[in-house]
Structure 1
Amino acid sequence: MKKGNAEPLDPKLRAELEALSSDDSPVDTSDIPEVTDWSAAKRGMFYRPVKTALSLRLDTDVVDWFRRQGDGYQTRINAALREYIETHGGS
């Protein structure tokens, strides 16, 4: 999506959005069964850790090796660093 000034909404769409935003009635959930069995639930399935952008100097051969493994080399470098932390008693 392009940043900047968006084109104005057409009147029909604007009216529909205003109608939706003004309705404060509660949602009827009577047809949705209550979940009582959470045994198959997966904790943290959609969790994405906060990332920090930084400039880091690595040996060229190390970066080349990770890049040769294909797309996602930065993710694999992160995983390798995380494994090192876990192996060496990091918190």
Structure 2
Amino acid sequence: MDVFTAIDKMRRLSEEGQSFSFSFMSYSYDRKKSEGIVQVRHARLRKQNRKEHNRFSDYMLNYINLDTLENGSCWQPLLLTFNNEELELK
């Protein structure tokens, strides 16, 4: 499955109030550093608030980790899996 199809499915599931799992490679643009692969078992996408809006916001996904109730974000091109299916960038 390609990344953009996965994102569409994430949005649909989130709108329906369902959760999904996904993983991504972390990356901090400010620190120019990765902490490795992040696995989120139960998540939903969330809307971006005004404080989070930045020049990269079109390339980011905002989510809530339903296990920890923490908000997070990731770079769309760095998505690795969606519901245990590997993704490819087309």
Q: Identify the TM-score tier after normalising by the shorter chain.
A: under 0.3
Which of the pair is proportionally richer in strand?
A: 2
Look at both structures and tell me which one has the larger radius of gyration over its CA atoms. 1
TM-score (norm 2): 0.20
